[in-house]
Amino acid sequence: MKKMMKLVAFALTVVFTFVALLSGCGSTQKNAANTESGQKQEASSVQTKQPVTLKYTYWGGPFEKPAMEKLIASFEAKYPNIKVQGQHIPADYEAKMSAMVAGNEAPDIGYVRDFMALDFAKQDKLYNIFDMLDKDTEISRKDFIEDLFLYWDKDKSYGMFTATEAYGLFYNKQALKDAGLSDLPTKMENALTWDQFVEIAKKLTIDQNGKNATQAGFDKTKIKQYGVRFDFNQGAYMPLVQSNGGDYVTDDKKFGLAQPEGLKVIQNMSDLITKYGVAPSPAEAKSLPSTAVSLTTRQAAIIMIGQWVLLDLAQSGIDYGVGVLPNMGKYVTSPGWGTIGIFKSTKYPKEAYQFWKWICDPANSIDVHKNGLWMPLMKKYYTDQNLVNQWAVNNPAHPQGYVDAILKPALTNLKQHPSSYVKNFPKIDAIVQPALERIYLGQETAEQAMKKIEPEVNKLIEGKYTK
């Protein structure tokens, strides 16, 4: 009996060993078969077996929220095991993001203002996107517009701008017709000089008595329709400063806005408010609706802003046009100043990268580009006419002239805002902004205000971030 049990035990051992060998061979064969395809896809595809949830934060107006929800839904349909919990933060985004990061509750991936992202990156709280992108076999750096990458050190980028979002002029066509004016130029080579721009703004500024700013008796204290409206931050003045050959901080670490190239632009913009009365001051702007709404209600005839405003304008139903910015030397346009960063605190970096990659590829979010919210990050959507036609031609968010006025300059004449490349920008800007407000309120000239703060600013200047 014992001999029989030993034989059975021996036989079972042989069988189990054989099965194990077969399983090992099968696994080896499977791994070998997947070596070529599986390893190549490691960085570019996520085959998540266990469901994961990514927290994704973003800002934006009422039309942006449903657009983003649709983008998230399309991603989840492609990757059903990756759920994206979108958190829309329409106001006080910077403060709330800072609180989340400080409280160890940062999202896995989310919008981050560029100056905040620089600090987070230096604190090792954001991934260097090149560590992931350079392993990707499906896309590479060269697929994107180079000037959209944001750096905090040599070859260290925390990502790109959320979208290109180039600046331009957007105007109420009926307002120009009523003033007897032609449409604004859409080609860079035909851009208005500053003096030409001022004259147009004068003719478009109407007081409560129906007089424009070129007519006798015009009352600039009682305006019904401003000729132009702009924001009071770097987005409005920096493209013109750069067009005039200036910068926020010079290469030799001087305060650029206190140099002649910067002073000229700041004074010109102040003159629109204080000298000619064709643009609202910071105090007057507070009583106006949003920039986009002021255009649709004809409280402003022209607005100087980034192209994201097209999302709202397309919904308004008004007849509007688009033109290039004034040119003060060499034409310049600027992108926005938000990025999408992947936080190192995430438990799912591969999945977060997959979502980042999905967002950055216009093929996955063409509706978000077509509706006017975003401009593509990939170069081929500017150079391949078939792809251009998919988002930038013959639709309510992209009126005639858009390709020349916004798309082409974004590809060839783009310069980043200083918050993206100036070290210590938040501290410097905290001194600059009050000075700008004094200038725009007519309390000081540009030279008086900027020269006054120059010594204090120079103490804070640490230079620029390099690629």
Helix (H) or strand (E) holding 422: none
| Res. 440: pLDDT tops 60 | yes
The answer to whether residue 47 is domain-embedded is: no
Q: Which residue, of 397, 412, 443, is where some domain finishes? A: 397
Are 320 and 344 found together in one domain?
A: no
Examine the domain organization and report whether 190 and 227 are in the same domain.
yes
Q: Does residue 106 sit within a domain?
A: yes
Report if residue 402 sits inside a domain. Answer: no
Same-domain pairing of 154 and 282: no
Same domain, 88 and 148: yes
Residues 298 and 236 in one domain: yes
- pLDDT class for 20, splitting at 50, 70, 90? very low
Number of domains in the chain: 2
Residue 203 to residue 47: CA distance in whole angstroms: 61
Determine how β-strand 338-342 pairs with β-strand 109-113. antiparallel
Q: Note the pLDDT tens digit of each residue in 180-190.
A: 999 999 999 99
For the domain that residue 365 is a member of, what is the CATH number? 3.40.190.10
21 lies in a domain?
no
What pLDDT score does 26 carry? 38
Q: What is the pLDDT of residue 25?
A: 38
In a domain, 222, yes or no: yes
- Are residues 126 and 179 part of one domain? no
> How many Cβ atoms are within 10 Å of 340's Cβ, its own excluded?
24
Q: What is the arithmetic mean of pLDDT over 258-263? A: 98
Least confident span in 44-53, 98-107, 174-183, 319-328: 44-53
d(Cα 418, Cα 335) in Å, to the nearest integer? 11
Q: What is the pLDDT of residue 283?
A: 94
Q: What is the pLDDT of residue 22?
A: 36
Least confident of 17-31, 81-95, 152-166, 370-384: 17-31
Does residue 8 lie within any of the structural domains?
no
Return the number of other C-beta atoms located less than 10 Å from residue 434's C-beta.
12
Whether residue 309 sits in one domain with residue 344: no
pLDDT of residue 322: 98
pLDDT higher than 80, residue 430: yes
Q: Are residues 94 and 126 in the same domain?
A: yes
Same domain? For 60 and 185 the reply is no
Domain assignment present for residue 403? The answer is no
pLDDT category at 223 given cuts 50, 70, 90 is very high
pLDDT band at 47 (very low <50, low <70, confident <90, very high): low
- Domain identity same for 157 and 95: yes
Tell me how far apart the alpha carbons of residues 161 and 346 are, in angstroms, rounded to a whole number: 21
Query: What does the pLDDT read at residue 129?
Result: 97
With pLDDT > 70 as the criterion, what percentage of the chain qualifies?
90
pLDDT band at 336 (very low <50, low <70, confident <90, very high): confident
Q: What is the pLDDT of residue 39?
A: 39
Q: What is the pLDDT of residue 66?
A: 87
β-pairing verdict for 52-58 and 109-113: parallel
On the question of pLDDT at 377 being above 90, the answer is: yes
Q: Which domain holds residue 373?
A: 52-164+336-397
pLDDT digits (tens, 9 = 90+) for 153-211: 999 999 999 899 999 999 999 999 999 999 999 999 999 999 999 999 999 999 999 99
Q: Is the pLDDT of residue 43 over 90?
A: no
Same domain, 439 and 309: yes
Angstrom distance (rounded) from CA 298 to CA 302: 9
Last residue of one domain, picked from the residues 362, 397, 432: 397
Residue 108 is predicted with a pLDDT of: 98
Q: What is the pLDDT of residues 122-165, one digit of tens each?
A: 999 999 999 999 999 999 999 999 999 999 999 999 999 989 99
> What's the pLDDT band for 359 if we cut at 50, 70, 90?
very high
- Whether pTM > 0.75 for this model: the answer is yes
Q: Give the torsion sign (CA, 250, 253, 259, 262).
A: positive
Question: Cβ(90)–Cβ(61) under 8 Å?
Answer: yes
Element (H or E) spanning 222, and its range? none
For the chain, the average pLDDT equals 89
261 domain residue, yes or no: yes
Residues 156 and 182 in one domain: no
pLDDT of 368 reads 87
CA distances from 238 to 162, 328, 365, 404, 417 (A): 19, 12, 30, 21, 7
Listed in sequence order, the residues at least 6 apart from 311 whose beta carbon sits closer than 8 Å to its beta carbon are 61, 63, 64, 67, 371, 372, 373, 397
pLDDT at 13 over 80: no
Q: How confident is the model at residue 42 (pLDDT cuts 50, 70, 90)?
A: very low
pLDDT of residue 46: 53
